[in-house]
Amino acid sequence: MEKETCTFSYCQKPEIVEVDTDFLIIGGGMAGAGAAYEAARWATPKGIKVTLVDKAAMDRSGAVAMGLSAINTYIGENKVEDYVRYVRADLMGIIREDLVFDLGRHVDDSVHLFEEWGLPIWKKGADGWSRDGFQARDEGIPSLKAGGPPCRSGKWQIMINGESYKVIVAEAGKAALEYNRKATGQAQNLFERVFIIRLVKDAKDPKRMAGAIGFSVRENKAYLFKAKAMLIASGGAVNVFRPRSTKEGMGRAWYPVWNSGSGFYLGMTAGAEMTMMENRFVPARFKDGYGPVGAWFLFFKAKATNALGEDYCAKDTPEFKDAVSKYGKWAENLGTAIRNHLMMQTMKQGKGPVLMNTHTAMQELAKQMDAKRLKHLEAEAWEDFLDMCIGQAGLWAAYNVEPDKVPSEIMPTEPYLLGSHAGCAGFWVSGPGDIPGTPAEWAWGYNRMGTVPGIFFAGDVVGASGHKFSSGSHAEGRIAAKAAIAFILDNAGYTPTVGEDINALAAEMYLPFEVYEKYKTYSTDPKVNPYYIKPDMYQARLQKIADEYFGGIGTWYMTSKTMIEEGLAKLQVLKEDANKLAASNLHELLRCWENYHRALSLEAHARHILFREESRYPGYYYRGDFDFVDDNNWRAFVNSVYDPATDTFTLKKVPYVQIIPD
Ligand code: SFD
Ligand code: AMP
């Protein structure tokens, strides 16, 4: 089929808006909001302009949109070294310890700010009982910063009343942007509902990127942002793999469906080096509603068992011993991946479904409390989901589930690509350089800058440094933004130059409109047409390839060299068909671009799994042809660089270095 081009012969040309800024933040989620807050502080006195662009409205954008009921990273009374040990063990021994340590020493400051900005944080009362954020405030229990003891659900996690968590964090980010806007005389520096599709090269300096292009998802406007430094903070990749949800539940996923791998795509196509893209996160979740399990395990002390009532994670089971024999010392730690592995083993042996025994946990807790406290506890059990996963509370209500009377099924979900939760896929970034034992080549000048000068990363897009969660992503945004402002100051002579014609850029973005308008009369059903493919169909094909060839739910996360090679061949054909993606409105245009981003993120993931000849993350994925952990050969990072000119990846092994002793 002929290659399509957009000459605006069929679709309307958008208005073109050019924005000149200094520091461009792409994504206003947890990391982006943190970056805006910190950047304004360092940039404004120097007259440096800060601009933030998000595909949605910052108040409810990103993973925290619905709210959360816990902050999963708060160091508090713990040692930062122990945090590094915990992250290392959970992520099967391969992390950038300099990045994790750096995060650990900064994260609490962000949590203290959240509380100052109005986030209610649970505390321990003098009687040893927990108080929710409002009770604690009414009783005058001091803030965390002033020494108030948090109510911990786990060693690293603290409980919050977090329905409005994102609104609170966004408000501070937006206030900081506004302060910068006024001081630097910008007309506008917060662009909401603008989707960034890619970065553009600098015409004078081949090593640098001069800005980013995107389009409004509400108006016919195309944007060119020119900037001296950029932060990519646009989250992980969701809906790359076929989800478990079907038909009436379709659209339900655990992680935010609006994070579509843009961050990976933007960095990759700019030539930034990636690391650990073979990693993925497969969370165990309450079945069908995707309700998180952490609070149930850690705070309510619920036990998960198989249908026979057995603890499938017990260390004396044959399943556990088998796991240790194949996956070595990392299996002994019973980290997140291995817990999934054991859950699946018990199901495969005919002992499913796996149940979270909410009822016995609550009955146990009821023995320790009076009627009033018990009522409060029940409310908390519901609120855990109402805060961050309303659909699960809806499902409980729909099925007449009373968590204090019956257990609920739990199940591993489809895979997600991310670097801030219990996963570590993302970019290879510079560390701070001041942590003893860090190899010199891990710090090339500016903290969290990628291998392309002036391009910084934070949150889900930073590789080899998981378990940051919401608080850590915010803190990392702040770390990266501060370094980016230093970079701008140190390179004061640089002015971004965009060589590409702005009209051509607009045509590139609007191609799916042109394709649709040109061919829409060739069929009666606009969804089916010999000349184009609609984004929902494209996404279904992408997810089918991911699921069946790269180890999704359909194969119990199993893949192999031969399966990946077959899947990559099919993915290549799908990528060619991307030229025929068609959009009948702005919403579909967004959907088209999200799929370009997903496809390349998926390809990077598959190529990394192919390169690593072992099963480093059993329970997340398995290489059937190398179903073991091989520390001798593979306790190393896998890094890659994508070349958009040739559409090829170059992969290499990079030595792992332990900085914090066992
Ligand atoms: O229960 C573009 N997370 C949890 N963290 C915690 O601390 N505690 C919890 O309780 C957590 N749990 C949890 C969590 C997430 C979700 C979805 C659930 C439960 C159901 C994890 C954190 O939320 C996560 O670590 C951080 O939010 C990551 O921060 P960041 O900044 O990397 O991603 P983001 O917040 O999603 O923001 C991304 C932004 O980018 C925008 N965007 N903008 C412009 N152009 C494009 N092309 C763009 N593409 C994306 C997005 O709109 C968004 O604003 S629990 O499971 O453990
Ligand atoms: P989740 O709700 O699964 O996202 O988990 C929230 C937090 O609790 C994360 O920090 C998890 O690593 C942790 N967590 C979840 N389940 C367990 C468990 N069974 N044992 C220890 N930590 C857990």
Here the tokens at position 270 are 């700019």
Q: What DSSP line would sit under 231-297, residue for residue?
A: EE----B-SSSPPS--GGGTT--SS-TT-BSHHHHHHHHTT--EE-TT--B--EEETTT----HIII
Phi, psi values for residue 591, rounded to 5°: -60, -35
> Are residues 111 and 222 both part of a single domain?
yes
Distance from residue 158's CA to the centre of ligand 2 (Å) = 12
* Ligand 2 atom closest to the CA of 469, numbered from 1: 10
> Are residues 30 and 71 both part of a single domain?
yes
**Residue 2 in domain:** no
Does any ligand 2 atom lie closer than 6 A to the CB of residue 72? yes
Q: Where among 443, 463, 490 does a domain terminate?
A: 490
Among positive and negative, which fits the CA dihedral 80, 85, 86, 90? positive
Q: Where among 412, 437, 455 does a domain terminate?
A: 412
- Give 223's strand partners: 17, 214
**Residue 264 in domain:** no
> Are residues 114 and 193 both part of a single domain?
yes
Distance CA 625, CA 378 (A): 47
CA nearest neighbour of 389 among 28, 63, 32, 55? 63
- Supply the residue whose CA is at minimum distance from atom 19 of ligand 2: 297
* Ligand 2 atom closest to the CA of 156, numbered from 1: 10
Distance CA 58, CA 214 (A): 17
Distance from residue 294's CA to the centre of ligand 2 (Å) = 4
> Are residues 300 and 329 both part of a single domain?
yes
Does any ligand 1 atom lie closer than 6 A to the CB of residue 389? yes
- Supply the residue whose CA is at minimum distance from atom 6 of ligand 2: 294
pLDDT digits (tens, 9 = 90+) for 604-615: 999 999 999 999
CA of 392, nearest ligand number:
1
The 10 Å CB-count burial string (b at 16+, else e) for 128-147 is eebbbbebbbeeebeebeee
> Are residues 231 and 131 both part of a single domain?
no
> Are residues 184 and 302 both part of a single domain?
no
Domain extent at residue 399: 286-412
**Residue 555 in domain:** yes
* Ligand 1 atom closest to the CA of 64, numbered from 1: 23
**Residue 266 in domain:** no
Cβ neighbours, 10 Å, residue 257? 13
> Are residues 425 and 480 both part of a single domain?
yes
Q: Which of 293, 411, 424 to mutate to test the pocket of ligand 2 (most atoms within 8 A of CB)?
A: 293
Are the C-beta atoms of residues 615 and 629 closer than 8 Å to each other? yes
Cα-Cα end-to-end distance for the chain: 58
Distance CA 277, CA 270 (A): 16
Are the C-beta atoms of residues 63 and 235 closer than 8 Å to each other? yes
Among positive and negative, which fits the CA dihedral 269, 272, 277, 280? negative
> Are residues 627 and 581 both part of a single domain?
yes
> Are residues 302 and 393 both part of a single domain?
yes
Does any ligand 2 atom lie closer than 6 A to the CB of residue 422? yes
Domain CATH code at residue 196: 3.50.50.60
**Residue 648 in domain:** no
Query: What residues contact residue 434 under an 8 Å CB cut-off, 6+ apart?
Result: none
> Are residues 471 and 606 both part of a single domain?
no
| Residue 141 DSSP label | P
Which pLDDT belongs to residue 1?
63
Q: What DSSP line would sit under 28-54, residue for residue?
A: -SHHHHHHHHHHHHHHGGGT--EEEEE
Which pLDDT belongs to residue 158?
97
Does any ligand 1 atom lie closer than 6 A to the CB of residue 256? yes
Q: Residue holding tokens 């073991």? A: 628
pLDDT digits (tens, 9 = 90+) for 551-562: 999 999 999 999
Q: Which of 193, 215, 388 to mutate to test the pocket of ligand 1 (most atoms within 8 A of CB)?
A: 388
Distance CA 236, CA 263 (A): 7
The 10 Å CB-count burial string (b at 16+, else e) for 12-51 is eebeebebebbbbbbbbbbbbbbbbbbbbbbbbeeebbbb
Domain CATH code at residue 298: 3.90.700.10
Q: List C-alpha distances in Å: 154 to 78, 112, 158, 513, 530.
A: 12, 18, 7, 50, 55
**Residue 259 in domain:** no
Distance CA 63, CA 73 (A): 16
Q: Which helix (H) or strand (E) holds 518?
A: helix 502-519
Does any ligand 1 atom lie closer than 6 A to the CB of residue 469? yes
- Supply the residue whose CA is at minimum distance from atom 56 of ligand 1: 292
Question: Which residues of the chain, if any, have pLDDT below 50?
Answer: none
**Residue 651 in domain:** no
> Are residues 299 and 438 both part of a single domain?
no
Distance CA 29, CA 657 (A): 31
Which amino acid is located at 426 in the chain?
Answer: G
Query: What residues contact residue 244 under an 8 Å CB cut-off, 6+ apart?
Result: 288, 411, 413, 414, 553
Distance CA 520, CA 531 (A): 9
Are the C-beta atoms of residues 348 and 312 closer than 8 Å to each other? no
Q: Is 563 left (phi over 0), alpha (psi -120 to 50) or beta?
A: alpha
3-state secondary structure of 222: strand
Distance from residue 28's CA to the centre of ligand 1 (Å) = 10
Distance CA 419, CA 383 (A): 27
Distance CA 580, CA 588 (A): 13
Domain CATH code at residue 544: 1.20.58.100
Distance CA 543, CA 546 (A): 5
Cis peptide before 353 (omega within 30 of 0): yes
> Are residues 459 and 508 both part of a single domain?
no
Q: Report the number of distinct structural domains present in the chain.
A: 4
**Residue 254 in domain:** no
